[in-house]
Amino acid sequence: MSTKIFLFSTLFCASLHFSGARAQRNADEPINNAGMFSLGIRNTLSLFNSHEAASFGAGGHFRIQLSDRVNTEWFADFIKSSTQDLGRTDYHIGWSVMYYVLNPAKTKIVQPYIEAGHCFDYTQLRITSNNLSKDRWSSAMQMGIGVHFNISPRFDITLKSQYMLHLGGHLHAHKDSIGVFEISEHEGFKAEGHLLNTISLNYKIGRIWKR
Amino acid sequence: MTALGLVLITSFSGLTQSNEYQQFDRTQMFSANASFTPGYLFRQNTFQYYLQGTFYYFLSPQISIQGDAAFSFRQTNIQGFVPLKYHSGFLGACYHFTENGNLDPYLGFQAGFSYLERTYSTNIVFPSTTTLAEVIPTSSILGGLNFYVNRYFNIFVNMRYVYGQPSKSIQEPDGLHEIRFAFGLGFNLAKWQKN
């Protein structure tokens, strides 16, 4: 069902874009501004998790744009999932650098970009039947693609997909010989990742500095 | 009820007095309302009731930022994993299909957080209950209609789908799916546009 809500949201955004929403924007007003500070809220759907359950999360971020082509995003969110046996919560706090692949002067309404970044991750894994849980801190890096739909000069809806690769120790739940779940913590490096699909609404507050 | 009637009569009389003005300017208009909001949880097959407060602010005639806070009334039925408390807060934006005029249909999307508390029976032989409480991520898709009576009042009706994803589930492997319905009288502060 979380997939459905995400798809519905995507369709809603697309319908906004292809409706008359674009007409509100003054074509002469620049969108990309170095020093622009934005605030946003986000929902995230995480797929291909190691425990085979889709996760759903919410959070927020701010952006500081460095140049017409380069933007940065500083985010914090938490993502939850549950199966019949396990519950998992991931807390992310990190940053990404976004690069606009098309000339911003010519792509004021739809702005595709690529991004890469790093985050810190705190994970709690819990066995529902006996309420036992374990947690761990780790680090992760992420990269992906996205697109801004600039509904007005100051407001945009952003869709993006990024693959987040967790680095370091990880938690793993498995059944023992008598069929009881237990959680083990594995030290050392093991690449463990998931695909994060995010929809966010963003508003440009103003410039921190002028170019 | 009498007070509400007086407010409505006053409002409509205000509308008739505004002939020299074509309509009000929604840009930078601030509006707020409070309502008693019932919700229906599909998986639990039960109704949930909220006191909900809403504000929105127009960034442009067709884009508004909207925030909501809903306080749930405590449920007494603990069967079927029904939420005892399900307080929620949302923040997002709405797209308004008309730029001006008294009728204002809109669609919106919001992200948010909820405080969820659920109690369930843990033992049939020796009945006992366990309460699980957690903060969960939520998302909301909403649509509604405002009717601006005058620059100060509006009548609103809206419906929203709310999805919440818990991680402490015993009997529910999936999220909470809910439809909420609200209507009532809202207050706004807007500028008039002269002809």
Q: Please tell me if residue B161 touches chain A, with a CB cutoff of 8 Å.
A: yes
Task: Name the domain count of chain B.
Answer: 1
- Please report, in tens digits, the pLDDT of each residue of chain A (211 residues total): 455 555 545 544 444 444 444 444 444 455 557 899 999 999 999 887 666 678 899 999 999 999 989 999 999 999 988 777 788 888 999 999 999 999 888 777 899 999 999 999 898 888 877 778 888 888 899 999 999 999 888 889 999 999 988 887 777 777 777 777 777 777 666 667 789 999 999 999 999 987 6
Looking at beta carbons, which residues of chain A come within 8 Å of B65? 203
Q: What whole-number distance in Å separates Cα of residue B50 and Cα of residue B37?
A: 5
Q: What whole-number distance in Å separates Cα of residue A125 and Cα of residue A136?
A: 9
DSSP 3-state of A198: strand
Residue B108 C-alpha, separation from nearest chain A C-alpha, in angstroms:
9
Nearest CA among B98, B162, B60 for reference residue A156: B60
The encoded tokens of residue A204 equal 């440009």
Contact assignment for A155 to B111 by CB distance below 8 Å = no
Residue A41 C-alpha, separation from nearest chain B C-alpha, in angstroms:
6
Looking at beta carbons, which residues of chain A come within 8 Å of B110? 41
**pLDDT tens per residue across span B14-50:** 444 444 445 677 888 899 999 999 999 888 788 889 9
- pLDDT, averaged in runs of 10, over chain B (195 residues): 50 47 75 93 87 92 93 71 85 91 93 87 66 90 93 92 84 78 90 60
Q: Which of A19, A77, A81 sits opposite B165 (nearest CB)?
A: A81
Segment 54-83 of chain B within 8 Å of chain A by CB: 59-63, 65
Q: What are residue A74's DSSP bridge partners? A: A62, A95
Q: What whole-number distance in Å separates Cα of residue B138 and Cα of residue B187?
A: 27
Structural domain boundaries enclosing B99: 2-194
Count CB pairs under 8 A between chains A and B. 106
Looking at beta carbons, which residues of chain A come within 8 Å of B136? 80
- The helix (H) or strand (E) run that includes residue A13 is helix A2-18
Candidates B57, B130, B165, B168, partner chain A, best to mutate (most A CBs within 10 A) = B165
Contact assignment for B141 to A151 by CB distance below 8 Å = no
The encoded tokens of residue A6 equal 């995400």
CATH assignment at residue B19: 2.40.160.20
Candidates B139, B142, B163, B174, partner chain A, best to mutate (most A CBs within 10 A) = B139
Could you tell me the CA-to-CA distances from B23 to A102, B71, B100, B126 in Å, in that order?
Answer: 41, 35, 7, 67
Contact B78, B44 (CB under 8 A): no
- The helix (H) or strand (E) run that includes residue A10 is helix A2-18
